Amino acid sequence: MHQNRFSETTLSASTAAAIERSPQVAAWLAAAVAGRLGWSADACSVHTVHHSFTDSSLDSRETDIVVIYRAGETRSYWMLVEMKINAPLGENQPQDYVARKAKTVAFKRCDACATVVIAPKGYLEAYPRDVRLFDVAVSLEDLRQATAASTDLSAKLLDNHIGMAMEIFKVGYVPLADALRESQFEWYGMFVHDYKPHLVPNPSNASKQARDVFYSIPDQNRGYITHRIFAGEVSMGFMQRGQPRVYGCLKVQAHSH
C-alpha cells in the first residue's frame, strides 16, 4: 500500500465534492458558466455530480467532473469539467470535449451542455490555443472566492487543495521519462496477463503521463475493469457502461526492470 499523492485526480475529487455539498460553490460555478453562455443561473440547482466519468456511448475518454444542473422541472444543463494543475492537455483532448458535448445534446441527455476547464490562471495563459476550445475557462484563483465564502467542510478542503495545486504549479510540469513510463506499462501488461490471461487491454493514448487501461469483461456486456497507471502506481476500479467510474483504494507499485 502506498500513500496517495496529491494530483489532478485529488483536486478534481475535492472539487466535485464541494460542488455537490457546498451551495456557495455550486452557485458560484453555475453563475460563472451560465453568465457567459446565456443560461439562467438563478434557476439552476445541482441534481447530480459525477467524478471520473466515462460513458462508452459518447467516447472512451474520461471527463474529470460532470455536473448536472436542473432548471425548473423540465430543463437540464450539463457541465463537462476538465481540471488541470500543470500537465499539458492530452492529444486531441480539448477536441474530444467538444465532440462529447455535441453528443450529449444530440443524444438528448440534456437541453444544453458546456465544456469547462479549471486551472491556475498561469496555466490558462500558457495554453491559450487549447483553452479557447472550451466554452468557459475558470481560474483556481477565482474559484477560491467561492471556497472562502463557504463554511462547508468540503469547501474548506477544496480551498486547501487549491493552495496545494498553486504551489505545484509554481514548480512546473515534470513528465516521466518516456523509457521509464513505457517500461512500467509493459511490466503491468505482463502482470495482468499472467494473472488473468483472458483479459485483453485496450490502452488509451500513451503520450500522457497517466494512462487508463480498460480490460473488457468477457461475455458480459457490463463494462470494464479499469486500471489507471500514474507515476508508477496503479489504481484499480470498475466502470459500468454509462456510469461514473468507481476506483478502489488498492494500489500496486509498477517497477521498471
72 contact partners, CB below 8 Å, separation of at least 6:
43
Instruction: Report the alpha-carbon distance of residue 46 to residue 37 in Å, rounded.
Output: 17
Q: Express each pLDDT in 64-100 by its tens digit.
A: 999 998 887 778 889 999 999 988 888 889 999 999 9
Q: Please check the confidence at residue 128 and state whether its pLDDT lies above 50.
A: yes
Lowest-pLDDT choice from 33-47, 96-110, 120-134, 176-190: 176-190
Mean pLDDT of the chain: 78
Q: Where are the domains of the chain?
A: 8-171, 178-253
pTM: 0.70
Residues in the chain, total: 257
DSSP state letter for 44: E
Sign of CA dihedral 111, 143, 85, 7: negative
**Beta-bridge partners for 53:** 63, 244
Contact status, residue 117 vs residue 152, Cβ threshold 8 Å: no
